[in-house]
């Protein structure tokens, strides 16, 4: 900040010196003092940089946290280079922790749901391991790893529990083979539950990646779209042999897909009817007869029926191909199955349905979740199939992509009126003034143009230091905007412009077809023609093409003898507003 005690004459000398030599601000203070004759103390006080407040601690802390979180995620992704190895190693660490955690230590006064320290530690270690596995499946986004992981966890658990069981004395009267069979059934259920969680996480991860890819495709620039279009068209023109196509599952079951509602209704009712009939002929299977215990084979049969019903439900929901249709199909499957329980067979009937309505509500909720993930799986599989076929240069896939690209490039194709404004002798204006003054004046000039364009319902397409390109929906609005600019530039020069020379403008207007949104187009013939027309105008004038003049019958123009870009060129005889119009 300049102190009042500094000599006024020295300050004026320095101001004049810096205007003539803007780069001198980076020179040493003693050099500036010698060149201007000012004292070294005054130069140093003027060149002292003001204190700049640093970034707030909160913002810095937030950025540091985000950076640390990204590092953790990237490090975790590096560990997932071999997913099954990661699953196996973490499972091994969990089992090792179970071996090392001391037992027998209990919490004082344990009652009800209280756990021993060992049990609580086991639950915590199991939860942490499961979260790491689900995170692995989510980041990898492949269902097959979740299925293989389920088999791996169930197999390892079965082997270890069997070893532990064989080392302990048996207190039950059941044979060892019966116990091992029930243990195998439990491990199958555990593996199925684990795999279901893993598949859900993998599908969510794959769907997240799919959405990110879709957003990236939507954000592609026109240049990127054009580049991809040319690549597709060149590939389609090649005569390379096409790789054989393997049909998708939905292609093999087109008849089922077309009648999905009927198949869901029949299948849901049929599977529930099977359970009703089996329980009628073998009531001991569900331990429904008094005084009798369910035989060993009963849970296997019940699980087989449930697995068949669930598999059919997932299969039909998957065939729909979309989450909402899959959810509707899954709920219809359950609703149709509920009708079978109304049959007065054995323990079933209306009374049974009322007594078990809570289970039915749970079944509907499970149907919604099942349908959602089946639909997501179908979407992911469809995109993966198209990606494989695209990699094989399948003509039908490339043709569909070419059509999609052309539609995206031609979206919003319509007629636009383009006005190009340019400043005459702008380089001379800048060279004769202080660079900072030129910067301020040309920025104010750009704001002046933008205001005039907005006032006439136009949009700025692009700007440069010397002028601008604006788009209008109507030729009358474009022409009136041009007249307003040529009229009001005089007031701008008198009251705003800080340069020695005034702004003197040329304007050209043309109307034509634009492929896509003009704001996104990097090249358009209508802009080039308007720019060439503008160059033919006199300073302070407005040049238009014949297309524009035909839409302005109430205005007078003088046609030039030569054409530009095969367009007739006309000069406006009244390039400024009349006094009554301006008012």
Q: Where are the domains of the chain?
A: 8-47, 63-103+117-167+174-218, 222-245+395-409, 249-391, 412-582
Q: Between residues 241 and 581, which one has the greater pLDDT?
A: 581
Mean pLDDT of 111-139: 74
Return the C-alpha torsion angle 63, 69, 74, 76, nearest 10: 170
Burial class (CB in 10 A: 0-12, 13-18, 19+), 11: middle
Tell me if 253 sits within 8 A of 319, measured CB to CB: yes
Q: What is the pLDDT of residue 105?
A: 42
The count of other CB atoms within 10 Å of the CB of residue 472 is 23
Q: Alpha-carbon torsion 361, 366, 369, 374, what sign?
A: negative
* pLDDT of 195: 84
Range scoring the smallest mean pLDDT among 47-56, 76-85, 150-159, 493-502: 47-56
Residue-level length of the chain: 583
pLDDT of residue 239: 52
What is the structure's pLDDT at 449?
A: 93
The first and second tokens of residue 90, run together, are: 């973490």
Element (H, E) at 542: strand 542-545
Lowest mean pLDDT among 45-49, 242-246, 443-447: 242-246
CATH architecture of 412-582: 2-Layer Sandwich (3.30)
pLDDT tens profile 335-376: 998 888 888 776 777 777 777 778 788 888 888 988 888 888
Q: Are 340 and 272 in contact (CB under 8 A)?
A: yes
Q: Is the separation of the CB atoms in 364 and 376 below 8 Å?
A: no
Do residues 536 and 543 touch, judged by C-beta distance below 8 A? Answer: yes
Spatial distance between the Cα atoms of 526 and 511, rounded to a whole number of angstroms: 6
Instruction: Give, in order, the Cα–Cα distances in Å from 121 to each of 97, 124, 126, 154.
Output: 9, 5, 8, 21
Using the predicted structure, report yes or no on whether residue 557 has a pLDDT greater than 80.
yes
Cα of first residue to Cα of last residue in the chain, in angstroms, is 45
Q: Which residue has better confidence, 521 or 400?
A: 400
* Phi then psi dihedrals of residue 329, to 5 deg: -65, -45
Structure tokens at 245: 């196509």
Q: Identify which of 420, 450, 410 has the alpha carbon closest to the alpha carbon of residue 526.
A: 420
Would you state the structure tokens that stand for residue 71, as one six-digit string? 């590092």
Give the Cα separation of 550 and 554 in Å (integer).
10
Give residue 107's pLDDT.
Answer: 42
The per-residue b/e assignment along 74-84, b for 16 or more CB within 10 angstroms, e otherwise, is eeeeeebeebe
Which is more confident, 493 or 393?
493
What three-state secondary structure class fits 242?
Answer: coil
Rounded to an integer, what distance in angstroms lies between the CA atom of residue 469 and that of residue 54? 40
With a CB cutoff of 8 Å and minimum separation 6, the contacts of 84 are 145, 148, 149, 152
**Is residue 493 predicted with pLDDT exceeding 80?**
yes
CA distance readout (Å), 377 to 211, 221, 314, 381: 14, 30, 10, 6
pLDDT in tens, 197-214: 888 888 888 888 888 888
Burial of 97 (0-12, 13-18, 19+ CB in 10 A): middle
Say how far apart CA 568 and CA 560 lie, in whole Å.
8
Token reading at 353: 């349905």
Q: What DSSP state is assigned to residue 510?
A: E
Residues 6+ apart with CB under 8 A from 189: 303
Contact 136, 83 (CB under 8 A): yes
pLDDT in tens, 266-278: 999 998 888 888 8
**Rounded-to-integer distance, Cα 249 and Cα 228, Å:** 30
Dihedral Cα 404, 408, 414, 417, nearest 10 deg: -150
pLDDT of residue 454: 92
Phi, psi of 232 (to 5 degrees): -65, -45
* pLDDT value, residue 445: 92
Contact indicator for 321, 378 with CB cutoff of 8 Å? yes
**Structure-model confidence comparison of residues 280 and 21, the more confident one:** 280
Percentages of the chain per state (helix, strand, coil), in multiples of 5: 65, 10, 25
Is 90 exceeded by the pLDDT of residue 507? Answer: yes
Q: What b/e string do you get for 451-469 counting C-beta neighbours within 10 Å, with b at 16 or more?
A: ebbeebebeebeeeebbbb
Neighbouring residues of 511: CB distance < 8 A, sequence distance ≥ 6: 415, 416, 417, 418, 475, 478, 526, 545, 547, 548, 551
Q: How confident is the model at residue 229 (pLDDT cuts 50, 70, 90)?
A: confident
């Amino acid at each position: 900040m300049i102190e009042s005690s500094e000599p006024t004459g020295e300050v004026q000398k320095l101001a004049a010196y810096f205007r003539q030599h803007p780069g001198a601000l980076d020179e040493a203070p003693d050099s500036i003092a010698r060149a201007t004759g000012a004292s070294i103390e005054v130069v140093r006080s003027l060149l002292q940089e003001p204190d700049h407040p640093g970034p707030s601690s909160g913002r810095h802390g937030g950025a540091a946290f985000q950076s640390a979180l990204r590092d953790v995620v990237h490090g975790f992704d590096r560990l997932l280079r071999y997913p099954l190895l990661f699953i196996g190693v973490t499972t091994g660490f969990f089992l090792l922790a179970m071996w090392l955690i001391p037992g027998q230590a209990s919490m004082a006064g344990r009652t009800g749901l209280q756990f021993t320290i060992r049990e609580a530690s086991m639950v915590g270690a199991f939860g942490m391991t499961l979260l790491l596995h689900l995170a692995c499946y989510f980041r990898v986004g492949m269902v097959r790893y979740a299925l293989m992981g389920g088999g791996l966890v169930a197999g390892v658990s079965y082997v270890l529990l069997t070893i532990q069981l064989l080392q302990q004395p048996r207190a039950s009267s059941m044979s060892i083979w019966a116990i091992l069979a029930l243990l195998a059934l439990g491990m199958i259920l555990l593996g199925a539950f684990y795999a279901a969680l893993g598949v859900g996480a993998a599908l969510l991860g794959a769907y997240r990646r799919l959405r990110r890819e879709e957003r990236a495709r939507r954000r592609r620039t026109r240049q990127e779209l054009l580049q991809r279009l040319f690549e597709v068209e060149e590939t389609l023109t090649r005569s390379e042999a096409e790789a054989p196509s393997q049909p998708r599952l939905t292609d093999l079951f087109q008849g089922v897909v077309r009648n999905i509602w009927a198949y869901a209704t029949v299948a849901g009712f049929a599977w529930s009817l099977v359970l009703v009939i089996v329980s009628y002929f073998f009531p001991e299977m569900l331990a429904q007869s008094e005084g009798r215990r369910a035989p060993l084979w009963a849970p296997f049969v019940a699980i087989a029926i449930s697995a068949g019903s669930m598999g059919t439900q997932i299969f039909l929901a998957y065939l729909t191909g979309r989450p909402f249709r899959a959810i509707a199909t899954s709920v219809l499957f359950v609703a149709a199955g509920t009708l079978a329980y109304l049959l007065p067979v054995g323990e079933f009937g209306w009374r049974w349905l009322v007594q078990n309505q809570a289970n039915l509500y749970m079944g509907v909720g499970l149907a919604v979740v099942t349908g959602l993930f089946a639909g997501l799986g179908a979407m992911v599989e469809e995109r993966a199939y198209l990606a494989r076929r695209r990699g094989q240069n399948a003509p039908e896939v490339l043709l569909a992509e070419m059509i999609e690209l052309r539609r995206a490039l031609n979206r919003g194709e319509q007629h636009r009126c383009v006005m190009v404004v340019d400043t005459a002798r702008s380089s001379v204006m800048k060279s004769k003034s202080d660079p900072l003054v030129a910067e301020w004046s040309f920025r104010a000039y750009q704001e002046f143009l933008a205001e005039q364009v907005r006032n006439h319902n136009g949009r700025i397409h692009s700007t440069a230091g010397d002028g601008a390109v604006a788009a209008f929906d109507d030729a009358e609005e474009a022409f009136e905007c041009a007249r307003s600019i040529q009229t009001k530039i005089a007031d701008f020069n008198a009251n705003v412009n800080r340069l020695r020379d005034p702004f003197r403008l040329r304007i050209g207007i043309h109307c034509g077809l634009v492929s896509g949104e003009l704001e996104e187009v990097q090249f358009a013939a209508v802009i080039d023609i308007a720019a060439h027309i503008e160059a033919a105008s006199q300073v302070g004038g407005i040049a238009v093409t014949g297309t524009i003049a035909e839409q302005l019958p109430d205005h007078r123009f003088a046609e030039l003898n030569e054409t530009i870009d095969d367009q007739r060129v006309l000069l406006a005889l009244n390039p400024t507003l009349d006094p009554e119009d301006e008012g």
